[in-house]
Structure 1
Amino acid sequence: MATTYSLQNILAHDASDARQRPYDRVLVRDLVLPAHIGIWSEEKGIEQRVRFTVELSVLPGAHRPGDLSSVVSYDFIIDGIREAVAAGHVLLTETLAERVAEHCLSHRRAMEVRVVVEKLDRVPGASLGCEIIRFRPHQP
């Protein structure tokens, strides 16, 4: 008998599986950078403030005091954010979040990433954006 998998079942399995593993988290919260972003004509050719929050779950490592090779550096995450912003005008916050997530998951110890991207200047008094969670693909 063949087993059928729905997208919801696969995502639920991956999420519950990930919660059972002991990961360390590397955090970059509330980093605000100027970026060219937006689909509306009034957003073209101008910079807007964009706030980034990234939580990167990594496999635990042997932390050796003073040895940066034993940790996932905050700079690794920040460099990925800066590269995504520097790539030019982006239409959607979701696209920017995907680029940051892809960079973060390229680290050999990365297993899961949560990325929040918020435009701060589009609507006075509000932040507009998205949050995504991505997992490293399972390897057979």
Structure 2
Amino acid sequence: MALSPLQETPAEPIAAPQGRTVMTKIFVTGLKIDAEIGVYAHEKGRAQPLVVDVELDVPAVGVERLADTVNYEMIGEHARAIAAEGHIQLVEAFAERLARACLSDPRVMRARVRVEKPLALAPHAMAAGVEITVVRG
């Protein structure tokens, strides 16, 4: 994956004292993305709002520079790029693509992605959606 101008050259993970690995949780909540998504005829050819929450586990301790960790701005970049690729049938597919895009950074050990589709069951529910967790194997 090419580094964006917001990213510095990745550094090696820093080991915690006594050989323990410290996991840092990087997160973005309430990210609003417009995407062409859905399986029904009325959902084709038009964008709908999605609300995305992402949580990443990254081994990091003693972080002093951006290069020592994962820049959370890349989560929004990945989400917007996936939406720009065109129509997606299911929120599950969007969530999995986003999780795997986040795992493209080798420092990310786990990605949890929650995607809400606020208009899916309106006005009967605030949102419907999915949550997926992908762990580096």
TM above 0.5, yes or no, is yes
TM-score normalised over the length of structure 1: 0.77
Deviation of the 1:68 alpha carbon? 1.7
Deviation of the 1:61 alpha carbon? 4.0
> Is 1:48 matched up with 2:31?
no
Aligned twin of 1:136: 136
Aligned twin of 1:82: 80
Q: Which consecutive residues of structure 1, in runs of 5 or more, have no partner in the other structure?
A: 1-20
- Name the SS of the counterpart of 1:110 in structure 2: coil
The alpha-carbon distance between structure 1 residues 28 and 56, as it changes in their structure 2 partners (threshold 3 A), is: same
Task: Report the identity percentage.
Answer: 37
Amino acid at match of 1:113: A
Deviation of the 1:22 alpha carbon? 3.6
Q: 1:44-87 CA deviation, whole Å, 9 max, x = no partner?
A: 111111010000001114311xx321221111111111111111
Q: What is the alpha-carbon distance in structure 2 between the residues aligned to residue 57 and residue 136 of structure 1?
A: 10
Q: What is the alpha-carbon distance in structure 1 between the residues aligned to residue 78 and residue 58 of structure 2?
A: 16
Are the aligned partners of 2:33 and 2:79 in contact in 1 as well (CA < 8 Å)? no
Structure 1 runs of 4+ with >4 Å offset: none
Q: What is the alpha-carbon distance in structure 2 between the residues aligned to residue 60 and residue 121 of structure 1?
A: 38
Amino acid at match of 1:52: V
> Is 1:36 matched up with 2:8?
no
> Is 1:24 matched up with 2:24?
yes
Q: 1:17-64 CA deviation, whole Å, 9 max, x = no partner?
A: xxxx64111000011111100000011111111010000001114311
My pick for the range that moved more, 98-107 or 125-134, is 125-134
> Is 1:112 matched up with 2:114?
no
Q: What is the alpha-carbon distance in structure 2 between the residues aligned to residue 88 and residue 61 of structure 1?
A: 38
The alpha-carbon distance between structure 1 residues 121 and 87, as it changes in their structure 2 partners (threshold 3 A), is: same
Task: State the number of aligned residues.
Answer: 116
Amino acid at match of 1:69: A
Are the aligned partners of 1:61 and 1:71 in contact in 2 as well (CA < 8 Å)? no
Aligned twin of 1:9: none
Q: Which consecutive residues of structure 2, in runs of 5 or more, have no partner in the other structure?
A: 1-20
Deviation of the 1:106 alpha carbon? 1.0
Aligned twin of 2:90: 92
